[in-house]
A = this chain, B = another copy of it.
């Protein structure tokens, strides 16, 4: 067992890649080498890491020589193309794209929920969708006490989920609108400044967009429960980098609010912010930069007089727990449990 690891970031110059670098530094991940991989366009750029300058390398099939762990966040197509080469080179890939999430042979993991699923990996581990992670980190501890039968969730998703250029677009569009100019959408199909719209992923035959389907199926997979029924409405809002969600939960039996509070107060990765006297509840500007998902407005669902419902309001950093942090946490578990070789032993 090594005590230092060679890590590569695929998509190092993207919004998630940048936060992966921050988090590896903050958490003092035991690095021997950090290799930054990106497209030819970004190759040669220098990025600071712990006081040193690292040169971005162009992603290629040969990029993974000597690498132990790949943190992949360059889009599903590139993951499909390059992950097999990374695995062949002996690396384990923690993949932040949607390419492998529903593959039954690929563990889909949030460490607070199902880290034991990592034992079955064959070289690729999938990081869930950001909205899924932020919901499930809060729902799972409640579920462990009493089974969730049904979830109705509405999201308020930051633009960071669409990447660094989408974040620039929100800023540029907002300046334009304030100056009385046209918004000129490029990354999104509609104006995002002072506006919001249904998540622009493709809508399937059942009327759900892909983002909503991800929240449904990924939750069922991680909870190992195909019976948990979920409906979701995913909405993009003019916020930079934390997703918020209104979550309505129906349980198999009555769930006292006080008990939910006690469970959430102890839950890993969760922080309660629930101060009615000062109208202080989870907000994206306060969740940004935090590791914990904030939860508040914890209340018995008044529409279920049988006491089997709870309502929650959460906010979590899309780039951290929703993406980069969760990926690094998976890598930490792989290291701590000495699971980096599993790919070859299976």
Q: Given A195-B239, A208-B299, A257-B207, answer yes or no on A248-B152 (Cβ-Cβ < 8 Å).
A: yes
A235 CB contact (under 8 Å) in B200, B244, B280: B244
A312 CB to closest chain B CB (Å) equals: 9
Task: Write out the residue numbers on chain B whose beta carbons fall within 8 Å of the beta carbon of A230.
Answer: 302-303
Chain B residues near A304 (CB, 8 Å)?
Answer: 229, 231
Decide if B302 touches A231 in the complex (CB within 8 Å).
yes
Contact of B257 with A196 in the complex, beta carbons under 8 Å: no
Chain A interface size range: 35 or more
Residues of B within 8 A of A235 (CB): 156, 244, 246, 313
Residues of B within 8 A of A284 (CB): 194-196
Question: What's the least CB distance linking A209 to chain B, in Å?
Answer: 8
With the chains together, A191 CA to B302 CA distance in Å? 29
A151 sits at the interface (CB 8 A): yes
Whether, in the assembled complex, A131 has its beta carbon less than 8 Å from a beta carbon of chain B, the answer is no
Copies of this chain present: 2
Residue among A189, A202, A207, A296 with max Cβ neighbours from chain B (10 Å): A207
Could you tell me the distance in whole angstroms from the C-beta of A289 to the nearest C-beta in chain B? 14
User: Would you call A198 and B150 a contact (CB within 8 A)?
Assistant: no
Check B296–A198 contact: CB distance below 8 A.
yes
Q: Does A240 belong to the interface (CB within 8 Å)?
A: yes
Can you spell out 22 A-B residue pairs with CB atoms less than 8 angstroms apart?
A152-B303, A190-B279, A190-B285, A194-B238, A194-B239, A194-B285, A195-B239, A195-B283, A195-B285, A196-B283, A197-B279, A197-B281, A198-B282, A198-B297, A208-B302, A229-B302, A230-B303, A231-B301, A231-B309, A231-B311, A233-B248, A235-B246
